[in-house]
């Protein structure tokens, strides 16, 4: 407690009862407000797996960031004019629409299911809930930086979208960066995150030659910042420890004409990773890491 207001100063004059009451009230209210803010910032969404996003987390000037001696000139909205599309993998209602999501769509290199249900932890926390929650947190962080943010789905449609449509949403938005958020469903003991990059593909409707390099740049920055923010290691089962994997079999990447990566934030089927993925505090760190990677990419 470092409060050292007038009521603790030696005073040679008497204060009125009204003034004393006001000072006491302020002494109670101000620390309470500060504590409330700290608690809110520290544990948005809680750790119960609930899909409570920190909606409306715009804190005006209250995020504590001040102009400092950095290489970049300070800007309150460094991503102003930039468009970021967040693609929350799967859809919480996909499992009710198996016929629709099993329909094959053209992804350039071949035909593939429209969408899939995604995985879940052993205790039943679904990947689709995870991806939406991280997407909401990420959206709030990017909007705070001034970006225009669009989600490919927000639990607001019965299923999907299909993977080809997910790619087209980013293309139509002329997105400066697109991130598809996922968590993996691998074997127990397989741990860690990995970022999936598009291979340079030219086949059918797929032509990723122009986006392969910027997508790699985006993916490398996200991988670095995600590891730093979450304190987790790159995957121990794919990517040879780099946290990066290049693929040519994902429609969401093959059909993209704008820089795009996927991130598998962890393995839902491993109990240690699942403990992280089901923690709201950890998901906030995950969103923070992804956001920082995007900001680095877009500021150049
Ligand atoms: Zn997935």
pTM for the structure as a whole = 0.76
Strands of the chain (E only): list them. Answer: 83-88, 104-106, 111-113, 148-151, 177-184, 194-198, 202-203, 206-207, 244-247, 260-267
CA of 89 to the centre of ligand 1 (A): 5
CA of 120 to the centre of ligand 1 (A): 10
| Residue 66 appears among annotated catalytic residues | no
Question: How is the chain split into domains, by residue range?
Answer: 83-299
pLDDT in tens, 15-62: 444 445 444 444 444 444 444 443 333 333 333 333 333 333 333 333
pLDDT in tens, 82-118: 999 999 999 999 999 999 999 999 999 999 999 999 9
CA of 63 to the centre of ligand 1 (A): 32
CA of 292 to the centre of ligand 1 (A): 22
- 72 confidence band (pLDDT: 50, 70, 90): low
CA of 128 to the centre of ligand 1 (A): 8
CA of 19 to the centre of ligand 1 (A): 60
Q: Which residues surround ligand 1, an ion (CB under 5 A)?
A: 89, 118, 182
CA of 202 to the centre of ligand 1 (A): 24
* pLDDT at 123 exceeding the cut of 70: yes
Helices first, then strands: H and E counts in the chain: 8, 10
Catalytic residue from among 127, 165, 264, 292 = 264
- For the domain with range 83-299, which CATH number is right: 3.20.20.220, 3.30.70.100, 3.40.630.40, 1.10.287.3510? 3.40.630.40
Q: What is the pLDDT of residue 24?
A: 46
């Amino acid at each position: 407690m470092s409060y050292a207001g007038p009521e603790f100063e030696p005073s040679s004059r008497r204060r009125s009862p009204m003034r004393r009451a006001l000072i006491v009230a302020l002494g109670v209210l101000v620390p309470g407000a500060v504590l409330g803010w700290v608690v809110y910032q520290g544990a948005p969404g809680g750790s119960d797996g609930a899909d409570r996003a920190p909606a409306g987390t715009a804190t005006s000037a209250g995020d504590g960031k001040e102009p400092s001696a950095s290489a970049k000139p300070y800007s309150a909205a460094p991503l102003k004019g930039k468009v970021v599309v967040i693609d929350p993998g799967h859809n919480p209602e996909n499992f009710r629409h198996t016929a629709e999501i099993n329909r094959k769509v053209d992804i350039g290199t071949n035909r593939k299911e429209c969408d899939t249900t995604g995985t879940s932890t052993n205790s039943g926390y679904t990947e689709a809930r995870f991806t939406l929650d991280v997407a909401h947190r990420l959206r709030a962080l990017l909007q705070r930086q001034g970006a225009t943010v669009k989600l490919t789905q927000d639990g607001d449609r019965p299923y999907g979208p299909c993977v080809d449509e997910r790619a087209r949403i980013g293309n139509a938005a002329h997105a400066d960066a697109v991130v598809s958020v996922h968590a993996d469903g691998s074997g127990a003991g397989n741990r860690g995150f990995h970022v999936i990059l598009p291979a340079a593909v030219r086949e059918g409707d797929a032509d990723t030659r122009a986006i392969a390099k910027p997508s790699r740049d985006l993916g490398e920055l996200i991988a670095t910042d995600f590891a730093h923010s979450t304190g987790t290691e790159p995957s121990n089962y794919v990517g040879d420890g780099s946290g990066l994997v290049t693929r040519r079999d994902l429609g969401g990447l093959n059909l993209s004409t704008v820089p795009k990566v996927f991130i598998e934030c962890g393995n839902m089927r491993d109990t240690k990773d699942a403990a992280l993925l089901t923690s709201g505090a950890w998901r906030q760190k995950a969103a923070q890491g992804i956001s920082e990677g995007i900001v680095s990419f877009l500021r150049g």
